[in-house]
Amino acid sequence: MSIKLEHVSYVYMPGTPYEKEALKDVSLEIDKGEFVAVIGHTGSGKSTLVQNLNGLLHPLKGTASLDGTDLSGKTQEAKQARGRIGMVFQYPEHQLFAETVYEDVAFGPRNLGLDNDEMDARVKEAMKFVGLDFETYAHRSPFSLSGGQMRRVAIAGVVAMNPDYLILDEPSAGLDPGSRRAVFAEIMALYKKRGIAIIMVTHSMEDAAKYAKRLLVINKGQIILDGRPGEIFLKEKNRLLEVGMDVPEVYKLADALRAKGLRLPHEITDAKL
Ligand code: ADP
């Protein structure tokens, strides 16, 4: 099972003076079971890339497909394929809208034609998964919760859809260290316990090194590096600096890795760094 981009180009506002080619001939395959981090300078094309990966944007040239089904299609099959790729946008708590946590989590699965019992079970399971006690929170307003709890509600809404792939855009942006750890613990559990493939856009090279098994570095609409995060930070330091990645962070990671010999990225912890 895999999401595949083949020679994908994407252009915003084609044919106008503001035309912007945001992806240039990108080919990429992501298998179910991978944990991929996407890093790159602001404006490099990360957001355009992930929206092409989940069928929200359609390539101008080339194709995006899931197991051979074109994600830009209008058929029922294409719709189902898009439904298997969940997306948590940046600051997802801004998209909460329902009167209760229950209704917010249930919003996505409602389109799946589940009956009430199945729906209840989905919502309960998803809330449990993100560590929100059902009895305590289900009937509260999402707006009465803390920032970290609201983000968990938003993640629960996507988990309730049972996706095979989950794309997260800056999942820890704006959270305090405690909430960051909690959100990453949930993401790791989705990856390890549920086998959901994770594709995570992040500004933090440290988070990329710590959690991901594969790193994509985007620059000017192209994937310029694709490999294990530890190896990229060690061997491609100069290339990362060239394309404007944060200098102290690159050095810190490269030095920490070198001091330990080449370690698997997910073995590095905050404490060790
Ligand atoms: P990133 O997520 O890495 O910050 P984006 O994918 O958002 O990058 O943007 C890639 C390029 O496309 C940038 O030059 C950006 O200005 C441009 N762009 C993004 N969204 C739009 C849009 N809706 N209309 C026009 N240009 C856009």
Instruction: Provide the pLDDT for residue 264.
Output: 44
What CATH number corresponds to the domain at position 254?
3.40.50.300
Ligand 1 site-directed mutation target among 11, 13, 20, most atoms within 8 Å of CB: 20
Is residue 55 a part of any domain in this protein?
yes
Q: Which atom of ligand 1 is nearest to the CA of 18?
A: 25
| Structure tokens, 19 | 């035309």
Q: Which atom of ligand 1 is nearest to the CA of 44?
A: 3
Is residue 96 a part of any domain in this protein?
no
Is residue 232 a part of any domain in this protein?
yes
Q: Which atom of ligand 1 is nearest to the CA of 40?
A: 3
Give the DSSP H/E element, type plus range, for residue 189: helix 177-192
Is residue 256 a part of any domain in this protein?
yes
Q: Whose CA is nearest to atom 15 of ligand 1?
A: 43
Q: Which atom of ligand 1 is nearest to the CA of 51?
A: 6
How many whole angstroms from 171 Cα to the centroid of ligand 1?
19
Closest-CA residue to 59 (of 29, 15, 88, 23):
23
Closest-CA residue to 67 (of 78, 58, 76):
78
Distance CA 6, CA 2 (A): 12
How many whole angstroms from 48 Cα to the centroid of ligand 1?
7
Is residue 91 a part of any domain in this protein?
no
Distance CA 145, CA 58 (A): 36
Is residue 118 a part of any domain in this protein?
no
Ligand 1 site-directed mutation target among 26, 44, 49, most atoms within 8 Å of CB: 44
Ligand 1 site-directed mutation target among 11, 12, 52, most atoms within 8 Å of CB: 12
Instruction: Provide the pLDDT for residue 198.
Output: 97
Q: Determine the number of helices (DSSP H) and then strands (DSSP E) in the chain.
A: 11, 10
Pocket, ligand 1, Cβ cutoff 6 A: 12-13, 20, 22, 40, 42-48
CA angle 66, 71, 77 (to 5 degrees): 80
Is residue 9 a part of any domain in this protein?
yes
Domain total for the chain?
Answer: 1
Instruction: Provide the pLDDT for residue 249.
Output: 78
Kindly provide the ipTM of the predicted complex, given to two decimals: 0.99
Q: Whose CA is nearest to atom 23 of ligand 1?
A: 12
Instruction: Provide the pLDDT for residue 237.
Output: 83
Closest-CA residue to 39 (of 263, 246, 195):
246
Is residue 184 a part of any domain in this protein?
no
Q: What is the bridge-based pairing of β-strands 61-66 and 2-12?
A: antiparallel
Write out the chain's pLDDT in tens, 273 residues.
999 999 999 999 999 999 999 999 999 999 999 999 999 999 999 999 999 999 999 999 999 999 999 999 999 999 999 999 999 988 888 889 999 999 999 998 887 888 899 999 999 999 998 889 999 999 999 999 998 899 999 999 999 999 999 999 998 888 888 888 888 998 999 999 989 999 999 988 888 988 999 999 999 999 999 999 888 888 888 888 888 887 777 777 777 777 766 554 444 443 343
Instruction: Provide the pLDDT for residue 271.
Output: 35
Range of the domain at 69: 1-84+165-176+199-273
